[in-house]
Amino acid sequence: MTRKTKPAGNDDESWNLRLYVVGQTPKSVAAIANLKKFCAEHLDDKYTIEIIDVAADPKIARRDQIVAIPTLVRKLPVPMRKIIGDLSNTDRVLVSFDMRPRS
Amino acid sequence: MPPRSNAVKELAKCPTGIAGLDEITNGGIPRGRPTLICGGPGCGKTLFGIEFLVRGVAQGEPGVFVAFEERPEELAQNVASLGFELEKLQKQKKLFVEYMHIERSEIDETGEYDLDALFFRLGDAIDTVGAKRIVLDTLETLFSGFSNEAILRAELRRLFRWLKDRGVTAIITAERGDGALTRQGLEEYVSDCVIVLDHRLSDQVATRRLRVVKYRGTAHGTNEYPFLIDKDGIDVLPITSIGLSHKASTERVTTGIADLDAMLAGGVYRGSTTLISGTAGAGKSSVSAHFAKAACERGERCVLFAYEESPQQIARNMKSIGVDLTGYMRNGLLQCIAARPTTFGLEMHLATIHKAIRQFSPKVLIIDPISNFLSIADPKEVKTMLMRLVDFLKMQQITAVFTSLTVGGKALESTEAGISSLIDTWLLLRDIELNGERNRAMYVLKSRGTAHSNQMREFVLSSRGVRLIEPYLGAEGVLTGSSRIAQEAKESAAAILRRDDTARKRRAIEQRTQAIEKQIAALRLEMSAEAEELERLTSEEKTRERKASADKTRMAISRKIIVQNAASGRRPRANQENATP
């Protein structure tokens, strides 16, 4: 086992991530930065990130039942997961994505 | 500046359109502000919110329903039975249902966040239909969706401010907590208007109640008001003891029984309350049916609440005593609402009555009988309920007739409901058991403002209706029924005997008088005979004397001893006399 954790799903599966933000609020900016950092560190290149600005299109927030901002939605691999917050705690993100066992 | 001066003047109100609530709140809930509706599960919070929106649409105010718990489809199904067509309104862009679902199991939290997406979604929903009203049902669900309570509370505070800024009239529903209005203390954010809904169980009968706990800057009814949820939605009943300010009519209305009218100096006052109490089978329903018929004959609408018989049964039974109500039932002058008392709670009954009055606006209302309410509530509650009802009826100038069953063994002059003080006219029907018969009697126990008869009348149900017969009052007390008839027969026989006897005596006296008169006549005859005899004797005596004296004279002459000088005096005259012939 290397230090690098493996994604929970199939290794070949690409991650599909959506990050819901509102404009350029500090929390949104922080979340974008934290997400990019996380992906670079833990997901090799097998991921796509879609950043959605709820302020620009509020209707789109209904699609994934978004209430809080920022919210990160992992559409793939299943099961779908949602993480709300600015993603500053990487360990929590790893646990949440089942990349590290919940203690 | 925006027209802020309006807010200073007076709190603008938003009529909810929910029957009765706007009366309690003097016009509705605060316009442009949030109102908190709290209550336990199943007490009607969601329906309250839906109806607020549906009525709003009817008033030209589109609305947004934010469902935190139910899916839009479920919601539409649940309220379809009440005639609310949510899907149609949604299609017409009058209503927007925003479903906010937070699945706790698929969410993790890390770091700072806020509820901006919620605000944007609400803002979009409001803009889509141009909403003036919004309902958040049940906002507290958010507390189970997020673990950071500090963030949540800050966001809620922001939400309420935001709603006010948007100028929408909002209803926030919340589950009632232990000892607090809401579980999460939402009342601290909503300070303008708080309404509590309650669904209480008493003796296995549930009653819904509503109370305006708080309404800043306005007068409002503070009591608990019953409300019901029926096919037309929510119906709040602002029935309370409004006070004794009703006007008193001097018009009298007939009871439908001419003899009774006579006892009551012409009938009962319009808008008064009449109680007919009595034992089982005393004829209470029959008397009240006369009231109903009389009202219909006057062309007035009458509503009859029957808690013992079905309308058909009433129609049939009353026909047998010559009170035909079927025609009036058919043409709608008489409305018969029959239900078992145990079907609903007391408040629901009051609600039904209230609703019927509002829809039907009757002039006469009959409840047969009120004593049945005691099977579903304790006497104190029944009394309160009836007091509210009586006050309401008087305000509406509705003439009311209540019947009350007096259970055998109890004092006749007590109604179980203890409502005698509420009653204007009290007719008491009772049975008189005598000589193996039960007969009915009626008297007027009281009648306010009426010089009423104090007589106890025998009460007879005939095929031509109720008749009140003057009872036999005599040495043997009040007699009714066949003993009255027997006594009357006895009396008339005695009278005949007396008449015969008198005639006989008169004849005897007449005969005696005649006999005496005859005797008197005989005596008179005798007396006159005596008198004749006496006269005869006298005249004989005179004759004799004259003859004697003449003889003497003759003898003297013959003896020549007549003294010539003894002339003066009688002798010479006598001589002359004697000499003349």
Cα gap B174→B35, rounded to integer Å:
11
A71 vs B117, B120, B123: nearest CB: B117
Listed by number, the residues of chain B in 72-101 with a beta carbon closer than 8 Å to a beta carbon of chain A are: 98-101
Residue B10 falls inside a structural domain: yes
Contact A30 B145 (CB under 8 A): no
Q: B565 versus B529: which is more confidently predicted?
A: B529
Contact A7, A15 (CB under 8 A): yes
Q: B493 versus B239: which is more confidently predicted?
A: B493
Chain B: residue whose CA lies nearest to A35: B110
B123 vs A34, A58, A62: nearest CB: A58
Cα of first residue to Cα of last residue in chain A, in angstroms, is: 19
Contact A31, A72 (CB under 8 A): yes
Q: How confident is the model at residue B412 (pLDDT cuts 50, 70, 90)?
A: low
Q: B256 and B229 in one domain?
A: no
* Average of per-residue pLDDT values in chain B: 84
Q: B468 versus B537: which is more confidently predicted?
A: B537
- What is the predicted pLDDT for the residue at B525? 94
Listed by number, the residues of chain A in 77-96 with a beta carbon closer than 8 Å to a beta carbon of chain B are: 79-89, 92-93, 95-96
If you average pLDDT over residues A8-22, what whole number do you get?
76
Crossing angle of helices B481-559 and B570-579, in 10° steps, is 90
ipTM of model: 0.87
Q: Which helix (H) or strand (E) holds B56?
A: helix B45-58
- Residue B371 sits in a domain whose CATH number is 3.40.50.300
CB-CB neighbors (< 8 A) of B121 in chain A: 58, 61-62, 66-67
Which long-range contacts (C-beta less than 8 Å, at least 24 apart) are formed by B481-488? B481/B432, B481/B434, B481/B435, B481/B437, B481/B439, B482/B435, B482/B437, B483/B434, B483/B435, B483/B437, B484/B458
Residue B458 in this model has a pLDDT that exceeds 90: no
Cα–Cα nearest to B295, from B193, B365, B225: B365
Q: B286 and B223 in one domain?
A: no
Q: B345 versus B240: which is more confidently predicted?
A: B345
Least confident of B79-93, B306-320, B382-396: B382-396
- What is the predicted pLDDT for the residue at B421? 80
- What is the predicted pLDDT for the residue at B5? 45
Residue B134 falls inside a structural domain: yes
Domain positions in chain A are 15-96
Chain B: residue whose CA lies nearest to A23: B116
Q: 3-class DSSP state for residue B213?
A: strand
Least confident of B69-73, B120-124, B183-187: B183-187
Test the A interface: residue of B66, B113, B144, B166 with most A CBs within 10 Å: B113
Q: How confident is the model at residue B171 (pLDDT cuts 50, 70, 90)?
A: very high
What digits encode the pLDDT tens for the residues B325-341?
899 999 989 999 888 87
B118 Cβ under 8 Å from any chain A Cβ: yes
Q: How confident is the model at residue B204 (pLDDT cuts 50, 70, 90)?
A: low
Q: How confident is the model at residue B410 (pLDDT cuts 50, 70, 90)?
A: low
CA distance B229 to chain A (A): 32
Least confident of B103-117, B204-218, B501-515: B204-218
Residue B37 falls inside a structural domain: yes
- What is the predicted pLDDT for the residue at B508? 95
Residues 6+ apart with CB under 8 A from B335: B301, B302, B303, B304, B329, B356, B360, B362
CB-CB neighbors (< 8 A) of A62 in chain B: 98-99, 121
Residue B29 falls inside a structural domain: yes
Q: B325 and B207 in one domain?
A: no
Name the domain boundary from B445, B470, B495.
B470
Contact B333, B304 (CB under 8 A): no
Four-CA torsion B190, B192, B196, B197, nearest 10 degrees: -90
Residues 6+ apart with CB under 8 A from A26: none
CB-CB neighbors (< 8 A) of B139 in chain A: none
Q: B189 and B74 in one domain?
A: yes
Say how far residue A27 (Cα) sits from the centre of its chain: 14
Spell B249-279 as b/e; 16+ CB within 10 A means b: eeebbbbbbebbbebbeebbbbbbbbbbbbb
A59 vs B99, B103, B124: nearest CB: B124
Q: How confident is the model at residue B99 (pLDDT cuts 50, 70, 90)?
A: very high
Whole-number percent of chain B with pLDDT over 70: 89
Q: B284 and B388 in one domain?
A: yes
Whole-number percent of chain B with pLDDT over 90: 30
What digits encode the pLDDT tens for the residues B491-548?
889 999 999 999 999 999 999 999 999 999 999 999 999 999 999 999 999 999 999 9
Contact B112 A59 (CB under 8 A): no
CA angle B238, B241, B247 (to 5 degrees): 105
Cα of first residue to Cα of last residue in chain B, in angstroms, is: 169
If you average pLDDT over residues B297-316, what whole number do you get?
90
Residue B105 falls inside a structural domain: yes
What digits encode the pLDDT tens for the residues B534-561?
999 999 999 999 999 988 888 888 877 6
A65 Cβ under 8 Å from any chain B Cβ: yes
Say how far residue B220 (Cα) sits from the centre of its chain: 29
- Chains A and B form CB pairs within 8 A to the count of 102
CA distance B65 to chain A (A): 14
Task: State how many domains chain B has.
Answer: 2
What digits encode the pLDDT tens for the residues A29-65?
999 999 998 888 888 778 899 999 999 988 888 888 9
- What is the predicted pLDDT for the residue at A7? 47
Residue A8 in this model has a pLDDT that exceeds 80: no
Contact A88 B102 (CB under 8 A): no
- What is the predicted pLDDT for the residue at B136? 93
Name the domain boundary from B426, B451, B470.
B470
Residue A4 in this model has a pLDDT that exceeds 50: no
* Domain span at B322: 252-470
Contact B110 A85 (CB under 8 A): yes
Q: B366 and B278 in one domain?
A: yes
Whole-number percent of chain A with pLDDT over 70: 85
Residue B240 in this model has a pLDDT that exceeds 60: no
Q: B478 versus B247: which is more confidently predicted?
A: B247
CATH number of A15-96: 3.40.30.10
CA distance A60 to chain B (A): 9
Residue B74 in this model has a pLDDT that exceeds 70: yes
- What is the predicted pLDDT for the residue at A9? 47
CB-CB neighbors (< 8 A) of A30 in chain B: 111-112
A52 Cβ under 8 Å from any chain B Cβ: no
CA angle B454, B455, B460 (to 5 degrees): 140
What digits encode the pLDDT tens for the residues B144-168?
888 888 888 899 899 999 999 999 9
Q: How confident is the model at residue B52 (pLDDT cuts 50, 70, 90)?
A: very high
Residue B107 falls inside a structural domain: yes
B109 Cβ under 8 Å from any chain A Cβ: yes
- What is the predicted pLDDT for the residue at B43? 86
Listed by number, the residues of chain A in 5-34 with a beta carbon closer than 8 Å to a beta carbon of chain B are: 20, 22, 25, 27, 30-31, 34
- What is the predicted pLDDT for the residue at A90? 83
CA angle B556, B560, B563 (to 5 degrees): 80
Cα–Cα nearest to B182, from B347, B33, B26, B34: B34
Residue B407 falls inside a structural domain: yes
Q: B89 and B154 in one domain?
A: yes
B102 vs A20, A67, A87: nearest CB: A67
A85 vs B102, B112, B117: nearest CB: B112
- What is the predicted pLDDT for the residue at B180? 78
Q: How confident is the model at residue B226 (pLDDT cuts 50, 70, 90)?
A: confident
CA distance B73 to chain A (A): 16
- What is the predicted pLDDT for the residue at B463? 84
Task: Tell me whether residue A3 is exposed, middle or buried, using C-beta atoms within 10 angstroms of its C-beta: 0 to 12, 13 to 18, 19 or more.
Answer: exposed
Cα dihedral across residues B448, B452, B454, B460: positive or negative = negative
Tell me the residue type at A85.
G
Residue B370 DSSP label: G
- What is the predicted pLDDT for the residue at B239? 60
Least confident of A86-90, B85-89, B383-387: B383-387
Q: B260 and B294 in one domain?
A: yes
Cα gap A16→B311, rounded to integer Å:
70
CA distance A85 to chain B (A): 5
B110 vs A65, A69, A88: nearest CB: A88
CA distance B4 to chain A (A): 29
Spell A87-101 as b/e; 16+ CB within 10 A means b: bebeebbbbbbebbe
Q: 3-class DSSP state for residue B226?
A: strand
B104 Cβ under 8 Å from any chain A Cβ: no
What digits encode the pLDDT tens for the residues B377-393?
777 778 878 888 888 88
Test the A interface: residue of B107, B143, B155 with most A CBs within 10 Å: B107
Contact B107 A82 (CB under 8 A): yes
Name the domain boundary from B470, B486, B508.
B470
- What is the predicted pLDDT for the residue at B574? 46
Four-CA torsion B276, B282, B288, B293, nearest 10 degrees: -150
Residue B275 falls inside a structural domain: yes
Contact B192, B175 (CB under 8 A): no
